[in-house]
Structure 1
């Protein structure tokens, strides 16, 4: 079959979907990737994908730009004529599905996460719900990454019950993210891996760090991730610089390989407001690192409280600081058990092969039915 994979960045396809792409190619499928061009686009082509450039701004909602996106995707789909289209992330899911419906091309959507739009009751939320309701009735299958998101869509009647299924996030490559021997740093080291936007709980992390420092907690607090001041909920550059200059955090910039940073930390923290299945927590747990995250959909499926880490309250810097203090005060044996339990959980529930096999089964069923 000719299969199109549509995402908001080439980087995302190359870093999170390449084992799936290779599995498709191994079965003889022709893979077309559709995404904005970036440094990873040549690598997709080298891997044998036929790439098609599309303009797509993932930072916010602009009705004019988004209507143009439907038209642009329609033109690409009409040219490529894929047998089926696989959409990931919000805009491909919504606007790509609308474009595909005009050409009667079947689609499989993947709800990677809802962000904060469903946590609010305003015009933006109402428009988003309306767009999902309109577009998802054309989807042949919709994969969700956690049961809370699936239930929400069913409760709001945004998707037919017969079309839904659930996946363990994007899964994790257990061979790439290997458990590391236990080693405790002389100064306990917390690591937040995230794009610097408010939805990820970055402000709460900073507030918690300040509280801990004021109480004399002797630890290191690191942040790894891209600055994104142009995002609607991005954090201003001068604010980030103040955090760095004041010594509140060690800013590590960005990287193409997070493994060494995870391995050098004692605990990975993500106080996000809501997730599909947070990739950074899967990577940390697979690497046998204890984790702290908010007790919200997505995060609380990866973190089992007092088993492989701690859960903290949403938007509560005091509770986050308390959980971080508890983690730093744990003995080596308990930290090691947390790390081992995280790896066990990843092997049992989040192996990437589960995700790949579910997609291959869905594609096989579609081919037999068509």
Structure 2
């Protein structure tokens, strides 16, 4: 029996509101335009205002996103439990490790259905550290409770199965990335000019392969003086792997890279580049690569989980070895020296791949179908 006259209440929980606003805007638009009450639960940041303008309700969440103090984590769990008891959402979507673990437990205690979305395991997950072992134990316990567990790539799904972290393996689903708005990220012709511009976009973390990118640039610039190497993204973020502004200033002083700061809209900078680079150590399914391919930019990325979901070697870009400045430099040089028509063909194939596999409309339909299956309410 459906509940057509009920107002659907949906909550989305993450360690940053920015990630919900940036990656799930299509889902939010669909929910709010169809009359759902949407609550965003996350630490306050500058995206609270645009989320409220979209029609969402925003609740500030205490979460130590990188800390390991159990007292802080209990505060997160308690805050989520109180919110779920008070607002009684029909379904909650949890993103990122702490929301997945403590949110799944809080939702179970409050008798609220939930979905856990693993947006990427993080490189520390595959290390042998004590923190990684504790995280796995917590995952194994917490993932007993969600109605479904969504994975963005097959490697993360296989990692959970291999580590026996899924109490209910039949509840695992593949989302295959969180999608790109193909109208918003329209195909742009490659620039016609003398210079050749590489750009790395993302939070400036060592785990994103920034050191390898800088070293590759250092090796290639004497041979290819027309090559430019840009960095776009925040420095000094709250992360153990964060790169400081001092590090970046040193590279700028050497004339190796151009630091572009941050941008609320990356599209003009992607359009002005010839190739987008992401030498990351591990990803979920990287949004920057999906957007770059949608706009018709060839990619150089590492052959790691997440990146290889988007990049087919020799088809829409090139893959290189992880943590290898040598391999990255070779891939960048190959991209530099490819005939223009071959790069243009790569660009076109990238657009076609994103349209085929990562169209945001398909992701929105998955949310609609899951919400109806669990709540009985049609959107």
Q: Is the counterpart of residue 125 in structure 1 residue 132 in structure 2?
A: yes
Deviation digits for residues 106-140 of structure 1 (CA, Å, limit 9, x no counterpart): 10111110111222112111011111111111111
Q: Once the 2 structures are TM-superposed, how far is the Cα of residue 229 of structure 1 from its aligned partner?
A: 5.1
1:331 matched to 2:318: no
1:52-108 C-alpha deviation (Å, 9 max, x unpaired):
111223334333322221112222222222111111122111111111121121101
TM-score of the two chains, using structure 2 as the length reference: 0.94
Q: 1:165 aligns with which of 173, 177, 180?
A: 173
Return the alpha-carbon distance in structure 1 between the equivalents of residues 285 and 225 of structure 2.
31
Residue 89 of structure 2: aligned partner: 82
CA distance in 2, matches of 1:228, 1:81: 38
Pick the aligned partner of 2:327 from 319, 335, 344.
319
Match of 2:358 among 345, 350, 354: 350
In 2, are the aligned partners of 1:60 and 1:231 still within 8 Å (CA)?
no
Structure 2 residue matching 1:221: 3-state secondary structure: strand
Q: SS of the residue aligned with 2:112? A: coil
User: Which deviates further from its counterpart, 175-184 or 282-291?
Assistant: 175-184
Gaps of at least 5 residues in structure 1 are: none
Closer/same/farther in 2, CA of residues 203 and 60 from structure 1, 3 Å limit: farther
- Residue 71 (structure 2) pairs with residue 64 (structure 1): yes
For residues 313-353 of structure 1, give each alpha carbon's deviation from its aligned partner in whole angstroms, at most 9, with x where no partner exists. 01000000000000001111011001000000000000011
Q: Which moved more, 1:296-305 or 1:97-106?
A: 97-106
8 Å CA contact 1:189–1:265 kept in 2: the answer is: yes
The 8 Å contact of residues 32 and 54 in structure 2, kept in 1 or not, is answered as no
Query: In structure 1, how many angstroms separate the alpha carbons of the residues matched to 2:370 and 2:33?
Result: 16
Matching of residue 218 in structure 1 with residue 226 in structure 2: yes
User: How far, CA to CA, are the matches of 1:359 and 1:90 in structure 2?
Assistant: 20
Q: Does the CA-based 8 Å contact 1:174-1:351 persist in structure 2? A: yes
In the TM superposition, residue 228 of structure 1 has moved relative to its aligned partner by 2.1
Of 335-344 and 19-28, more deviation after overlay is shown by 19-28
- C-alpha separation in 1, matches of 2:40 and 2:368: 17
Counterpart-to-counterpart distance in 1, 2:206 and 2:67: 14
Residue 94 (structure 1) aligns with: 101
For 1:50 and 1:230, the matched residues in 2 are separated by 25
Alignment of 1:263-274 (within 5 A): 263-274=271-282
Residues 251 and 60 (structure 1 numbering): CA distance in 2 closer, same or farther, change over 3 Å?
farther
Question: Which of 251, 257, 273 pairs up with 1:243?
Answer: 251
- How far did residue 39 of structure 1 move? 1.6
Counterpart of 2:217 (choices 197, 209, 214) is 209
2:157 matched residue in structure 1 = 150
The alignment partner of 1:325 has SS state of: helix
Does the 8 A contact of 1:217 with 1:325 survive in 2? no
Secondary structure of 2:264 counterpart: coil
* Cα distance between partner residues in 2 of 1:251 and 1:326: 24
Distance 1:353 1:261 in 2: 25
Partner of 2:121: 114
Q: How many residues align?
A: 369
2:197 is the counterpart of 1:189: yes
TM-score (norm 1): 0.96
1:25 pairs with one of 18, 32, 38: 32
Contact persistence 1:137–1:158 (CA under 8 A) = no
After TM superposition, the structure 1 stretch with the greater mean CA deviation from structure 2, 188-197 or 112-121, is 112-121
**Would the aligned equivalents of 1:108 and 1:143 in 2 still touch at CA under 8 Å?**
yes
8 Å contact kept, 2:231–2:257: yes
More off after superposition, 83-92 vs 212-221: 212-221
Of residues 118-127 and 18-27 in structure 1, the stretch that sits farther from structure 2 once superposed is 18-27
The 8 Å contact of residues 184 and 266 in structure 1, kept in 2 or not, is answered as no
